Amino acid sequence: MRLQYPSNIKIILVPCTGKVDVLYILRAFEKGADGVYVVGCLEGDCHFDNGNFRARKRVEQAQKILDVIGVGGERAQMYNLSSSEAPRFAEIAIEMDEKIRALGPSPIKAAKQKAA
Amino acid sequence: MIVADKKPIEEIIEEIKNHEKILILGCNECVTVCEAGGKKEVGVLASALRMYFLNQGKQVKIDEITLERQCDHEYLEEIRDRMDQYDAVVSLACGVGVQFMAEKYHSTPIYPGVNTCFLGVTEERGLWTERCQACGHCILASTGGICPVARCAKRILNGPCGGSTKGKCEIDKEIDCAWQLIIDRLKALDRLDEYEELCPLKDWSTDRAGGPRKVVREDVQQ
């Protein structure tokens, strides 16, 4: 299909979104990510039954923490799509890229540069 | 196990905001099982605090260590040579661990990172319920293995009271009447005749009413 999506998105593969922990999301922000989104299978379609539901809960947990520490919970998002939906994948990537660009760089990244 | 719940991050930030070198100290026992103060929770809290202080423009060092236990000398000794690096410790152990840390390291402030709740069980992941109040004189033998001290709101020893309706307690429709559970259990064990026997006055001196308690076992003392 040769679909295009923003090149600033780094994909981290996990066997199932159920593997994604709150800590993974926080560490990404700590390392300077401007936004993190988890892309899981469609709800009800998890091969492991509830991996994507677990991921959603963990993203919500991360959002709460990010709100408290002043980074902003909206920088972490959860999306669901089927593995055959490549156009939707590209669409989500563009949507997330636009959302984060509107929010601006992560305050953590700026603070890290200032501290260095 | 001892069941604890996480403290809100805002509260922990308030506790430690004036310190610059902080150790987040987890415990590998009960608080790990109830997902309040184990290695993972230490990682999450430390990461959140590092980002918070960085965002505030403060240079704060935040390290993570998780000990096997915080209620035994030998494990607390493991960090003795590192304690001089920190001006505060947030202990994610239960209240016992926090206090033992404070007793051992007099000159470093130790702050609690969890709220210690009760002695209980994991009914399912994310649901922990109380089973024991450590009254010091166990009566489970005569109550079919269900504790009226921990599970009856009134702690009555000859129940149920008049507030028991359809097997539920009057304080909350979600809470089982402990005495209904006891009666059902004794019936299932074909020991209902024991229910007729009155429980004598309980010696509460072994409970908290007698002040802080201790267990002395000379046979195992060195």
Residue B77: pLDDT band (50, 70, 90) is very high
Residue B208 has pLDDT above 90, yes or no: no
Contact B119, B29 (CB under 8 A): no
Q: Considering only CB atoms, which chain B residues are within 8 Å of A22? A: 44
Task: Say if residue B217 is exposed, middle or buried (CB neighbours under 10 Å; 0-12, 13-18, 19+).
Answer: exposed
Read off the pLDDT of residues A46-105 as tens digits, 9 standing for 90 and up: 999 999 999 999 999 999 999 999 999 999 999 999 989 999 999 999 999 999 999 999
Report the gap between the CA of A110 and the closest CA in chain B (Å): 8
Verify whether the Cβ–Cβ distance A22 to B52 is below 8 Å. Answer: no
- Write down the CATH number for the domain with range B2-118: 3.40.50.2300
Provide ipTM, 2 decimals.
Answer: 0.93
Q: Would the CB atoms of B55 and A65 count as touching at under 8 Å?
A: no
At A116, the pLDDT band (50, 70, 90 cuts) reads confident
pLDDT (average), residues A25-44 = 96
Asked if residue B170 lies in contact with residue B163, where contact means CB atoms within 8 angstroms, the answer is yes
In a domain, A9, yes or no: no
Measured between alpha carbons, how far is residue B172 from residues B68, B84, B130, B152, B176 in Å? Answer: 38, 49, 15, 12, 8
| Residue B185 identity | R
Distance between CA atoms of A20 and A28, rounded to whole angstroms? 12
Does A83 reside within a domain? yes
- Count interface pairs A-B at CB distance under 8 A: 46
Residue intervals of chain B classified under CATH 3.40.50.2300 are: 2-118
CB contact under 8 A, B47 and A21: no
**A74 within some domain:** yes
- Mean pLDDT along residues B78-104: 97
- CB contact under 8 Å between B10 and A68, yes or no, is yes
The model's pLDDT over B93-130, given as tens digits with 9 standing for 90+, comes to 999 999 999 999 999 999 999 999 999 999 999 999 99
* Whole-angstrom distance, CA of residue B63 vs CA of residue B50: 9
Which amino acid is it at B96? V
Stretch B81-93: mean pLDDT, rounded? Answer: 97
Of B110, B112, B130, residue with least CA distance to B120: B130
Which chain B residue's Cα is nearest to A30? B51
The DSSP element (H or E) to which A51 belongs, if any, is: helix A51-68
Residue B54 to residue A108, Cβ atoms within 8 A:
yes
Distance CA A26, CA A21 (A): 9
What is the rounded average pLDDT of the residues B173-185? Answer: 96
Q: Which helix (H) or strand (E) is B130 found in, with range? A: strand B127-132
Do B51 and B91 touch, CB atoms closer than 8 A? no
Share of chain B above pLDDT 70, in %: 100
CA distances from B211 to A102, B99, B122 (A): 60, 17, 29
For chain A, the domain total comes to 1
d(CA B41, CA B19): 21
Say how far apart CA B22 and CA B88 lie, in whole Å. Answer: 5
Residue type, B159: G
Domain that holds residue A106: 17-110
